[in-house]
Amino acid sequence: MLKPNGHLTPTEFDMAAPFARHCGSPDCLGIIRGFTYLSTDERERLQPMLALHLRRLPSPCAGLVSR
Protein backbone atom coordinates (compact mmCIF):
# COMPACT_ATOMS: atom_id res chain seq x y z
CA MET A 1 0.00 0.00 0.00
CA LEU A 2 1.22 3.46 -0.84
CA LYS A 3 1.25 6.15 1.79
CA PRO A 4 -0.31 9.57 1.08
CA ASN A 5 2.14 11.74 -0.85
CA GLY A 6 4.39 8.70 -1.35
CA HIS A 7 6.08 8.51 -4.72
CA LEU A 8 5.98 5.76 -7.31
CA THR A 9 9.14 4.87 -9.19
CA PRO A 10 8.17 4.86 -12.86
CA THR A 11 8.95 1.34 -14.11
CA GLU A 12 6.33 0.66 -16.79
CA PHE A 13 6.44 2.01 -20.32
CA ASP A 14 2.83 0.95 -21.00
CA MET A 15 0.56 -0.75 -18.46
CA ALA A 16 -1.88 -3.55 -19.24
CA ALA A 17 -3.89 -2.64 -16.13
CA PRO A 18 -3.86 1.11 -15.36
CA PHE A 19 -5.01 2.14 -11.90
CA ALA A 20 -6.34 5.20 -10.09
CA ARG A 21 -4.10 6.91 -7.59
CA HIS A 22 -5.48 9.17 -4.87
CA CYS A 23 -2.36 10.10 -2.88
CA GLY A 24 -3.27 13.70 -2.07
CA SER A 25 -0.13 15.17 -3.64
CA PRO A 26 -0.61 18.34 -5.69
CA ASP A 27 1.47 16.59 -8.38
CA CYS A 28 -0.66 13.42 -8.35
CA LEU A 29 -1.22 12.04 -11.85
CA GLY A 30 -4.55 10.47 -10.86
CA ILE A 31 -4.61 7.62 -13.37
CA ILE A 32 -1.36 5.64 -13.66
CA ARG A 33 -1.15 4.23 -17.21
CA GLY A 34 2.56 4.11 -17.97
CA PHE A 35 5.43 6.39 -18.96
CA THR A 36 4.33 6.53 -22.59
CA TYR A 37 1.12 8.40 -21.64
CA LEU A 38 2.79 11.17 -19.64
CA SER A 39 3.08 14.70 -20.98
CA THR A 40 6.53 15.97 -21.91
CA ASP A 41 6.63 18.04 -18.70
CA GLU A 42 5.67 15.02 -16.57
CA ARG A 43 8.32 12.84 -18.27
CA GLU A 44 11.02 15.46 -17.67
CA ARG A 45 10.00 15.91 -14.01
CA LEU A 46 10.15 12.16 -13.39
CA GLN A 47 13.40 11.57 -15.33
CA PRO A 48 15.63 11.39 -12.19
CA MET A 49 13.37 8.72 -10.63
CA LEU A 50 12.95 6.49 -13.69
CA ALA A 51 13.80 2.82 -13.68
CA LEU A 52 17.02 2.12 -15.57
CA HIS A 53 15.32 0.59 -18.62
CA LEU A 54 13.25 3.76 -19.09
CA ARG A 55 16.30 6.00 -18.65
CA ARG A 56 17.95 4.12 -21.51
CA LEU A 57 15.34 5.29 -24.04
CA PRO A 58 16.97 7.34 -26.81
CA SER A 59 15.19 10.45 -25.47
CA PRO A 60 12.50 11.08 -22.86
CA CYS A 61 9.92 11.33 -25.66
CA ALA A 62 11.12 8.68 -28.12
CA GLY A 63 8.27 6.55 -29.40
CA LEU A 64 5.76 7.93 -26.93
CA VAL A 65 2.05 8.50 -27.37
CA SER A 66 0.95 12.14 -27.57
CA ARG A 67 -1.56 13.24 -24.98
pLDDT one-digit tens code per residue, 44-60: 888 888 888 888 876 64
Measured from the Cβ of residue 55, the count of other Cβ atoms closer than 10 Å reads 12
pLDDT band at 4 (very low <50, low <70, confident <90, very high): low
User: Dihedrals φ, ψ of 65, to 5°?
Assistant: -75, 135
CA within 13 Å, CB half, 65: 10
C-alpha distances in Å from residue 53, one per residue of 22, 36, 47: 26, 13, 12
User: pLDDT over 70 for what percent of the chain?
Assistant: 70
